[in-house]
Chains A and B, each alone.
Chain A
């Protein structure tokens, strides 16, 4: 077999393999999205209707409280809660992650490695294992079913990861950058904002997006620590669609779509940032 032909076959096989793999990964998600646009009747039909016959926005109108059919689930409140909790915890995690990441990348201090290892080890504990202790403490100090309580939990959950990621990006910025800026007349603070921060920007952005997605999608802890519209987030709200004997699959899927869309948009942003990477022409190339 000649070289080019062989290469072609390998390329096609790779393509097919990738396609199948992506199909397996994406199909459930796609099915959920499709379901969101179809009436419950059709979703539950037996035998199954594979090709959608009706396709509309009724489910969305319903869960947001428009249109003829109403549903007793306060989606707008959940959406607001999710947004406030995810954005606030992300912002805090980023500020702390940036300070911590910079410190780990640039400074020497006692027990640096142990602290870093400790941070990483804290990531190995599954979130659900923390739910009982957190629940007990939160109930003592009155943080159960509050946005603040959730913000604190998610911030804590995200910090090790943001520190780790941002540390990696600052490490890639040679310390001579900051030194050159300082010799050029900057204070350390100016050198950070004018030179080091712009260079690590895309890394910090991706850390932020990861943190946001973690908070946005988290279910296990939120289901234990929230009760009402005061703090319930979208993933927890999904469970409102299950009644004792029935499940409103269509409504639930519509809500899932609402959860997925911001996540999807942000994921595309992450991708752009991660691929863009950093160009280090300033250093020997």
Chain B
């Protein structure tokens, strides 16, 4: 049974349509991450699920109920806001218990639930402070605590980590993951950070300009992007995308260099087709420094413009098909700018997208 179901959901602000009829089914206890660039409609979608934004068209079901016209308080969901939206005039304890108090639960039950949440999130010491007296990470935890005390059917998170510094963000990310395994509940999580999406999600929903581009597990989305947008958005550093043309079994790049058409895609392309050749930096490695360079491989001599040592690997900036392209050197040695290296391109991992539609030729 799906917990949350969006059917042809449309959102218009006046004349402007910002969400264009999206369909999405979220399973019970599933952790779904909506990811996409700024302004793609992630928050709007989340807020429509929460009932904070009216739906212009379509249907939203939560559990078995059609919730189109239900106010937020009747949807049995809870939400963590980007700015936390803790009540500044209440203590942590009151913040946590507020929802239960509104629902007229007994003192004893409120105390029990609040205590339980405080326990899970390590807030017990902070119960009598006000939000102003908490650090960013602590506020974040209170916001999550407020969400879990009500034992809702689903948690909605809108970029909950974007106000934290990089280190704390990583820490809270794992805490959210742990929280989800402790408190089994359906989660819809919005972020524009693809690393957060990859690490947290059971399933990722990639959005762009009010459309859903792809839905899949992190593995699927990473390994089989359906179009150039998903290919470039998921994965860091992003996939190299080089314009090319299929000519007699070869992928001819713009600068005249060519590589064989990957075997597994051979029957998906036709001669003369304009394509985009996609290859992740991990799959473009100097000889002897690769991790994926078995199977079908093409070799090319490329000049390194710049090398950035990251520790366990070095990023190699080079040119491929007349474009900037990025390779990686695992188990690195020193590389001088201007040095020419033999790169092995792992064609088993390469992607081809139709140049006009941007869609993967697999489809």
Contacts of B227 in A (CB 8 A): none
Can you list, as one digit per residue, whether each of B112-139 has a CB less than 8 Å from chain A (1) or not (0)? Answer: 0000000000000000001111101001
A279 interface residue per 8 A CB criterion: yes
B52 interface residue per 8 A CB criterion: yes
Count B interface residues, CB 8 Å. Answer: 32
Q: Report the stretch among B3-11, B71-79, B259-267, B347-355 that lies at the interface.
A: B71-79
Q: Report the stretch among A8-16, A125-133, A183-191, A221-229 that lies at the interface.
A: A183-191
Can you list, as one digit per residue, whether each of A252-275 has a CB less than 8 Å from chain B (1) or not (0)? Answer: 000000000000000000000000
Contacts of A284 in B (CB 8 A): 83-84, 136, 139, 163
Q: Report the stretch among B95-103, B190-198, B245-253, B289-297 that lies at the interface.
A: B95-103
B150 interface residue per 8 A CB criterion: yes
Range of interface residues on A (Cβ < 8 Å): 20 to 34
B211 interface residue per 8 A CB criterion: no
Indicate if the CB atoms of B81 and A184 lie closer than 8 Å: no
Indicate if the CB atoms of B102 and A184 lie closer than 8 Å: yes
B304 interface residue per 8 A CB criterion: no
B234 interface residue per 8 A CB criterion: no
Tell me the chain B residues, 44-89 only, with Cβ under 8 Å from chain A: 50-52, 71-73, 77-79, 81-89
Indicate if the CB atoms of B89 and A198 lie closer than 8 Å: yes
Q: Which of B134, B136, B150 contacts A184 (CB 8 A)?
A: B150
A179-B81, A183-B50, A190-B102 given; A282·B88 CB < 8 A? yes
A283 interface residue per 8 A CB criterion: yes
Q: Which of A187, A279, A280, A283 contacts B71 (CB 8 A)?
A: A187
Indicate if the CB atoms of B85 and A180 lie closer than 8 Å: yes
Contacts of A190 in B (CB 8 A): 102
B146 interface residue per 8 A CB criterion: yes
Indicate if the CB atoms of B73 and A282 lie closer than 8 Å: no
Contacts of B131 in A (CB 8 A): 281-282
Tell me the chain A residues, 89-119 only, with Cβ under 8 Å from chain B: none
Minimum Cβ distance to chain A for residue B350 (Å) = 43
10 tightest A-B contacts by CB?
A281-B132, A282-B86, A176-B85, A184-B99, A282-B88, A281-B131, A180-B85, A185-B102, A282-B131, A182-B72
A179-B79, A282-B87 provided; 5 other pairs, C-beta below 8 A? A179-B72, A184-B102, A187-B73, A279-B130, A282-B131
Chain B residues in the interface with A (C-beta under 8 A)? 50-52, 71-73, 77-79, 81-89, 98-99, 102-103, 130-134, 136, 139, 146, 150, 163
